[in-house]
Structures are given as structure tokens and as C-alpha cells.
A and B are shown apart, each in its own frame.
Chain A
């Protein structure tokens, strides 16, 4: 009953997310136990891997701070990617192409700016951001246009684009920009990189992820857009009832185009934060898994911009902490993706949980109603 009340109250979405996390931890624990591992040790090592709890010992030049900064370095593009999904989702669109948009934006920025040794950091970094916005925005707008002009389902069109982008960029990398040793693209210049590397804090070699600042800024912007602006109101209206939006006089086509454009633009930012931030090279013909994890984050955060920051932290803990957990506990690191997948599964049951809770409360009210009547009658 306690749970039912929480799930129908003002913070219902928050409770759904918490419940999903708890259920996932339970499922993961069962899985670990069947493999003969101690879940508590495993969870602790996830946190240690992220610099939230100290490890037993650290190698030279690294410490809890470096782990934490590495964690934040991963977190930044993930937050941006999930914001991209949310922006489209509010309009009722599923932007599954975030991975492709990230790759294209990252590739374009790397080729145009990252390989341009002549640009100083002050010029290069903003340009990288701009390219991210532009390339991602155009790709997103293209998908939006395909949707409203030809009624092409965006899930299929975005996946097709993902593969096209993957092969196209892979081709160009292999042909023109490949590093013979790593088989990946040549690294981008440190000046263009959004994450500052080898920054000495004390005797620790740290990374400073500037992308995190961008991520939080965008989160605040998106939140403001949807809570306080006319455009945000119209996007939500289109997402919830397209027919009524048309009837009200909202230009539905323009709204779809804009929201997919914004979504793509933010995905582009995620892309440059990933390929010229978190890492500095591109693996050919590989789409970033983060593009799909962003969907998990968005759903876990109940589609709310600020909520997705916390959801992203949860998912990042699993993804970033996996390596360390794998080496201490001896479980394959793929378990991180599995846990994220299970988390996504439980998060998507949120509506059902709310519905069951509402039913329970209604039945209790009905019962009290009839009891009251019988009491009156007798």
C-alpha cells in the first residue's frame, strides 16, 4: 500500500525510477550469486572503478580523483546523448539514430578541426562544438523531414542512416585517415579536444572534461525549453496529441522538424564530446554503444531533462566501473551492458507499475465506499 501511494503521488516518476534501480540491483545480485560471486563486493568495485569509493591501491600518477574525472569524462557525452533522445521523445519521436549522429558529427569535427594543426585551442574548441551542432542538427532535421513529408517511421530511417554513416565514415577513415598501428583513425589534436589531458593536480595525471559543463548547460536549457517556452509547449502538444495540435493551429510539420533538428544537434554535441573528448580517435565501422545506452538513461529518467542527469550517473557507474569490477571479481565486463539492459527493461515497465498502483487505490476506495454505505444502511 505504501508503494501504491508513492506510485500515484506527485513524485511518482521518481519512485518508478528508484523501484527500477532496486529491482535491477536485485536481479544483478541473483545473477552474480549464481556465478558464485559476492554481489556486495561486485557493487562496491563498480563504485571504486568510478572513483566514488577508494581502491586498495593505485598505480603511479593515478588516484581516486583521476578515476572520478574519468568517470565524469564518460558521463558528459552520455548526458548529452540522453538529452538528445528526450528532446525528440517529447515530440513523440524516437531518435534511435543518436549513435549515427554522434559518429558523423565526431568524424566531421575530427577531419575539419581535429587534423588542422594550425588552430589554437581557443579557436578550435568552439568550432568543434559548432560543427557538432550543425552536422547533428542537419542530420536530425533530415530525419524529421523524411517523417513529415513521406511518413517514414523514424525508427527504421534512423537505423538505416546509422549503418550508412557507419560504412561511409569507415570507408573514408580506412582510405584517408587511418593510423596504421591502431587501425583506428589518427588522433585529433589536443587543442581541439574537449577534454584536457595530462593536467597535473598534485602528483596525479588528470583529465578535465569540459564537456561536462556543456552537458549541464544543455540540460538546463532543455529543461527551460519544455517548462517555460511556447515552443516547448507546442512540442509537447504535438507529442501527446498530433490531431489536437493541428486543430489548435500549431504547425505540426515545423514542430517535428525543429524537435528532430534540436535532437540531432544535441546528439552532435554528444558526438564531439565523445570522439574529441572522452576519446580522441574513431574506430571505423563501429557505432558508439553510448548512442543506445542513452535510450536507457532517458527512459530511466522518465523523460525529464534533470532526471536524466541522475539516471546517467547510475548507468555510467555500471559502464565505467565494469573494467575494474571485471578484474577484481572475475566476471566478464559485458555484464555492465546486461545490467543496463535489465535496467531499461524495468524502467519501461514504469507505466504498468503506476497503473497497477492506481487500480489498487481505486479498489480500496470503492471498498471503503461500499462499507460506508452498508454501515449507513445498518
Chain B
């Protein structure tokens, strides 16, 4: 039972930071279906940094992980500039842009991983192998029955993400920047009339989105896969978007949705192990998050509303 919470949390938290990333972009009025691509590219940059630093700083040096997370954020933000360019400057269809970004991300990361590995070690591998991240356990708290699992075997990035999300909530709902960002997604004309620069706010929102998704990506790489490879693209970006939809574009409910996803995934896995089914059957349980998403979408899509002005490029001359 404990394991369900442990594994569930280590899946839910990176998912959450990606969802919040998508949320920031959408709240500012830019549709973000590119979360999948952002997290992949961010993970690429993080893993690249880790691979480059490992021989220099020593294998197993945990500090590398933190640097990787930073690089992932920067990489994700840089890549998101393309989405910003297409949506804000070129006023392209934002759904298409998201799909384009995702396809481009897969191609770019595959190619450059191969190229980088060739340059570094001579072998054209499509993987960056990552060190195992140490985990820690909070004493006392981990003895609480049932939910003690939350505090067992935690990855350090889980704390980082949790703190970050609290800060992001505060930024969005209590500061001047957040208020204007939310207004841009509902009625950009009002923001423009109030004298603020709508497009600049949207650019910043998209870049934040890229950075956050990148962080989520590298955390997934560390916790779920153990390396960076094409298998970073497992549709988690889309799961995050679904979580955002259930959360009705609010950070609190989105957190709940991510936790549900995480627990469903780890719960299903534990069930499979407990039932002692052959390993093939694991695949069936891996389907659980996706089926759950579809079911929840059935119930929530009609009632939940995105920000009013999302998906439309800002047109100054419209009255």
C-alpha cells in the first residue's frame, strides 16, 4: 500500500508541473497542446547536461541532477519560443502549432541525441543514460499508516516541484503579473486598454510554460525511465493537459487530478504484481491512466470551460 503512494507521487508531481506549465500558457490565452514536445526537449537538454557533466563532476554526483533540472528548464523555455513565434507573431492556428511542435520535438531530440552521442563517445546511440537519483525518507512521518508512503523513498525533485507549484499558484493569483496574465486569457482588449502589453505577457507565459514542462520532462526521465530516449514521449504531456481540463484551469483542482492519475497508475501496477499475473499483463495495466483520462474527460469536458479568449491571436484593431 505504501508503495502505491510512493510511486504514485513520483509520477503525479512531474505530471503536475507539466500541467501547471500548460495552464500558465492557456490562462494567458495561448492554446498549449505542445506540452508533450516541451517536456521532451527539456528532458533532452537536462540529460545532455548530465551526460556532459558526469565525467567532469564524477559519476553519481547528485548535484548533477539539480543542474540537469535547471538546464531542462532553460532548454524547454528556449524551445517554447518556436510555439510563441507561431502563435503570437505569425498568428497560426494554435492547435496546429502544438501538433507541429510535438512532431518537431521528437525529430529534433532523436537526431541531436544521436549526433551528440557520436560526438561524445563515437557511438550513435539514441539514449542518454542517467544516474540513479538518490531517494530519501522523512523519519517519523513515514511511519504514519497508509499515507506514510508519501514520505518514503522520495525523490528530491518532488520537494522542488511541490514548492514550485505553491509559488506558481501565488504568482498567478496574488501578484500583479498573475492578475494581468489571467486577464489576457479572458479579455485581452481590457488589458490593452489598461495599458499593458498583451503580447509580451503571452510570450512570458509561453516561456514559463516551456520551462515548467521541461522540468517535468527531466524528472520523468530520472524517475520513470532512467535515461533519455525516444521513450520520453509516452503521452504524459497530453495526460497533463487532460488534468488541466479536469482541474477547470485552476491549479488546486489540477493538483488533485494529477494525484488521482498517479495513484491510479501505481495502484494498477501494484494490483498486477499482487495478482501475480505474467509480465505481459503489465501492459494492460499501463493502459489505466489513458482509459481513466478518457472516462474523466467524458464527465468533465462539457462543464469545464477554458479561458474565454484562448486560441485567438490578439488583434489590436478589433473592437
Chain A residues proximal to chain B, CB less than 8 Å: 35, 94, 96, 146, 150-153, 155-157, 159-164, 167-168, 170-171, 174-175, 285, 292, 295-296, 299, 332, 334-335, 337-338, 340-342, 344-345, 348-349, 351-352, 355
| Shortest CB distance A27–B (Å) | 12
| Shortest CB distance A93–B (Å) | 10
Question: Does A345 lie within 8 Å of B235, measured CB to CB?
Answer: no
> Per a CB cutoff under 8 Å, which of B100, B103, B118, B301 touches A153?
B301
Q: Can you name the residue of chain A whose Cβ is closest to the Cβ of B286?
A: A167
Question: Does A156 lie within 8 Å of B100, measured CB to CB?
Answer: no
**With A156-B238, A156-B242, A348-B92: A151-B108 Cβ-Cβ less than 8 Å:** no
**With A153-B301, A170-B283, A332-B115: A337-B106 Cβ-Cβ less than 8 Å:** yes
Question: Does A344 lie within 8 Å of B104, measured CB to CB?
Answer: yes
For residue B301, which residues in chain A have a CB less than 8 angstroms away from its CB? 150-153
Given A155-B238, A156-B297, A161-B290, 7 other A-B residues pairs in contact with their CB atoms under 8 A = A153-B245, A153-B301, A156-B242, A160-B297, A161-B294, A295-B100, A338-B107
Give 14 pairs: A residue, B residue, CB < 8 Å, sorted on A.
A153-B301, A156-B297, A160-B235, A160-B297, A163-B234, A164-B287, A167-B290, A285-B283, A332-B124, A334-B126, A335-B111, A337-B106, A340-B103, A348-B100
Question: Does A332 lie within 8 Å of B103, measured CB to CB?
Answer: no
| Shortest CB distance A242–B (Å) | 14
| Shortest CB distance A339–B (Å) | 8
| Shortest CB distance A156–B (Å) | 6
Q: Does B56 contact A (CB under 8 A)?
A: no
- CA–CA, A352 to B291, complex, Å? 38
Question: Does A341 lie within 8 Å of B107, measured CB to CB?
Answer: yes
Within 8 A of A (CB), among B81-120: 82, 86, 89-93, 95-100, 103-104, 106-108, 110-111, 114-115, 118
Question: Does B280 lie within 8 Å of A171, measured CB to CB?
Answer: yes
Q: Does B293 contact A (CB under 8 A)?
A: yes
Q: Does B284 contact A (CB under 8 A)?
A: yes
Closest 9 CB pairs of A and B: A341-B107, A352-B90, A337-B107, A341-B104, A334-B111, A332-B114, A171-B283, A338-B107, A338-B111
**With A150-B302, A159-B235: A332-B90 Cβ-Cβ less than 8 Å:** no
Question: Does B108 lie within 8 Å of A338, measured CB to CB?
Answer: yes
Interface string of B260-304 (1 = CB under 8 A from A): 000000000000000000001101101100110110011001100
> Per a CB cutoff under 8 Å, which of B90, B107, B238, B241 touches A349?
B90
- CA–CA, A152 to B104, complex, Å? 25
| Shortest CB distance B264–A (Å) | 13
Most-contacted residue by chain B among A162, A292, A332, A335 (CB, 10 A): A332
| Shortest CB distance A95–B (Å) | 11
**With A342-B104, A345-B104: A337-B111 Cβ-Cβ less than 8 Å:** yes
Question: Does B91 lie within 8 Å of A355, measured CB to CB?
Answer: yes
For residue A146, which residues in chain B have a CB less than 8 angstroms away from its CB? 294, 297-298
For residue A152, which residues in chain B have a CB less than 8 angstroms away from its CB? 294, 297-298, 301
Considering only CB atoms and an 8 Å cut-off, how many residues of chain B contact the other chain?
Answer: 46
Question: Does A345 lie within 8 Å of B293, measured CB to CB?
Answer: no
Q: Can you name the residue of chain B whose Cβ is closest to the Cβ of A295?
A: B99
- CA–CA, A296 to B280, complex, Å? 34
Q: Does B16 contact A (CB under 8 A)?
A: no
Question: Does A168 lie within 8 Å of B92, measured CB to CB?
Answer: no
Chain B residues proximal to chain A, CB less than 8 Å: 33, 82, 86, 89-93, 95-100, 103-104, 106-108, 110-111, 114-115, 118, 124, 126, 234-235, 238, 241-242, 245, 280-281, 283-284, 286-287, 290-291, 293-294, 297-298, 301-302
- CA–CA, A334 to B113, complex, Å? 10
**With A155-B99, A334-B107: A348-B86 Cβ-Cβ less than 8 Å:** yes
- CA–CA, A175 to B33, complex, Å? 35
- CA–CA, A342 to B104, complex, Å? 7
- CA–CA, A174 to B281, complex, Å? 10
**With A167-B283, A338-B107, A344-B100: A349-B298 Cβ-Cβ less than 8 Å:** no
> Per a CB cutoff under 8 Å, which of B86, B107, B238 touches A160?
B238
Q: Can you name the residue of chain A whose Cβ is closest to the Cβ of B291?
A: A164
Question: Does B287 lie within 8 Å of A167, measured CB to CB?
Answer: yes
- CA–CA, A174 to B114, complex, Å? 29
> Per a CB cutoff under 8 Å, which of B93, B280, B287 touches A175?
B280
| Shortest CB distance B23–A (Å) | 15
- CA–CA, A296 to B99, complex, Å? 10
- CA–CA, A94 to B98, complex, Å? 11
- CA–CA, A146 to B301, complex, Å? 10
For residue A344, which residues in chain B have a CB less than 8 angstroms away from its CB? 100, 103-104
Q: Can you name the residue of chain A whose Cβ is closest to the Cβ of B281?
A: A171
| Shortest CB distance B107–A (Å) | 4
For residue B286, which residues in chain A have a CB less than 8 angstroms away from its CB? 167
Q: Can you name the residue of chain A whose Cβ is closest to the Cβ of B85?
A: A349
Question: Does A157 lie within 8 Å of B294, measured CB to CB?
Answer: yes
For residue A342, which residues in chain B have a CB less than 8 angstroms away from its CB? 104
Q: Can you name the residue of chain A whose Cβ is closest to the Cβ of B98?
A: A155
Question: Does A348 lie within 8 Å of B302, measured CB to CB?
Answer: no
Question: Does A155 lie within 8 Å of B284, measured CB to CB?
Answer: no
**With A152-B297, A167-B286: A96-B99 Cβ-Cβ less than 8 Å:** yes
**With A151-B301, A164-B287, A348-B100: A341-B92 Cβ-Cβ less than 8 Å:** no
- CA–CA, A152 to B95, complex, Å? 14
For residue B98, which residues in chain A have a CB less than 8 angstroms away from its CB? 155
- CA–CA, A338 to B109, complex, Å? 9
- CA–CA, A349 to B294, complex, Å? 32
| Shortest CB distance B88–A (Å) | 11
| Shortest CB distance B90–A (Å) | 4
> Per a CB cutoff under 8 Å, which of A153, A162, A335, A351 touches B92?
A351
For residue B111, which residues in chain A have a CB less than 8 angstroms away from its CB? 332, 334-335, 337-338
- CA–CA, A96 to B286, complex, Å? 21
| Shortest CB distance A111–B (Å) | 17
Q: Can you name the residue of chain B whose Cβ is closest to the Cβ of A174?
A: B280
- CA–CA, A155 to B32, complex, Å? 11
Question: Does B104 lie within 8 Å of A150, measured CB to CB?
Answer: no
Question: Does A341 lie within 8 Å of B108, measured CB to CB?
Answer: yes
